[in-house]
Chain A
Amino acid sequence: MGVYIPVGPQHPIHPEAILLKLKVEGEQVVDADVDSSFVHRGIEKALEHKTWLQGLYLVERVCGICNVAHSTCYTLNVENLLGVEAPTRAQYLRLVVEELARIHSHMLWLGLLAHLIGFQSLFMLVFRDREKVLDLMEELTGNRITTAYNVVGGVRRDIDPALEHRVRSTLEELRGRVKRYRKLIEEDPSVRARTVNVGILERSEAEELHAVGPVARASGIKYDVRADDPYLVHDEVPFNVVTLETCDAWGRAMVRVEEVLESIDMIMYSLDHIPSGPIRKRVPPVFKVPPGEGIARVEAPRGELFHYAKSDGSERPYRYRMRTPTLANLAALVYMLRRGDRAVYVADVPVIFGSIDPCICCTARVFVLDERGSRVLNLEDLGRSRGR
Chain B
Amino acid sequence: MRMLRDVLWNLFKGRATVMYPEERGSPPDNFRGRLGFNRDECIGCGLCHRVCPASAIEMENDGRGARPVFHIERCIYCYLCIEVCPTKAIKPGKEYAVVTSRKSDLVVR
Contact = CB atoms under 8 A, between A and B. Distances in A.
Interface of A: 50-51, 53-58, 61, 121-122, 125, 128, 131, 138-143, 146, 148, 156-157, 180, 183-184, 187-189, 285-286
A128 B17 CA distance: 9
6 smallest A-B Cβ distances: which pairs?
A54-B53, A57-B53, A142-B32, A139-B28, A128-B16, A285-B51
A19 B47 CA distance: 44
Contact of B31 (A55, A61, A138, A180): A138
A140 B32 CA distance: 11
Interface stretch (B59-67, B74-82, B99-107): B74-82
Contacts of B52: 54
B3 A121 contact: yes
24 contacts: A53-B51, A53-B80, A54-B51, A54-B53, A56-B53, A57-B76, A57-B78, A121-B6, A121-B7, A122-B3, A138-B31, A139-B28, A139-B30, A140-B30, A142-B30, A143-B31, A143-B32, A146-B77, A148-B79, A157-B30, A187-B2, A189-B1, A285-B47, A286-B50
A148 B50 CA distance: 18
A53 B84 CA distance: 12
A183 B32 CA distance: 38
Contacts of B78: 57, 148
Given A140-B30, A188-B2, 13 more contacts: A53-B51, A53-B53, A56-B53, A57-B78, A58-B53, A125-B6, A138-B27, A141-B30, A142-B32, A143-B32, A148-B32, A148-B78, A189-B1
Contacts of B51: 51, 53-54, 285-286
Contacts of B27: 138
Contacts of B50: 285-286
Contacts of A58: 53
Contacts of B1: 188-189
Interface string B15-34: 01000000000011011100
Contacts of B54: 57
A295 B28 CA distance: 36
B17 to A, nearest CB: 9
Majority-rule SS of B interface residues: loop
Given A54-B51, A57-B53, A188-B1, A143 B80 contact: no
A284 to B, nearest CB: 9
Contacts of A184: 2-3
Contacts of B28: 138-139
A6 B21 CA distance: 39
Contacts of B2: 183-184, 187-188
Contacts of A146: 76-77
B53 A50 contact: yes
Contacts of B53: 50, 53-58
B6 A285 contact: no
A285 B3 contact: no
A53 B1 CA distance: 52
B18 to A, nearest CB: 9
A50 B76 CA distance: 15
A246 to B, nearest CB: 19
Contacts of A125: 6
Nearest to A57: B53
Nearest to A54: B53
A148 B16 CA distance: 28
B91 to A, nearest CB: 14
A157 B31 CA distance: 11
Contacts of B77: 142-143, 146, 148
A140 B2 CA distance: 34
B13 to A, nearest CB: 10
A260 B31 CA distance: 25
Contacts of B76: 57, 61, 146
Contacts of B80: 53-54, 57, 285
A180 B6 CA distance: 9
A142 B79 CA distance: 10
A188 B78 CA distance: 43
A140 B51 CA distance: 24
A189 B3 CA distance: 11
A147 to B, nearest CB: 10
A45 to B, nearest CB: 16
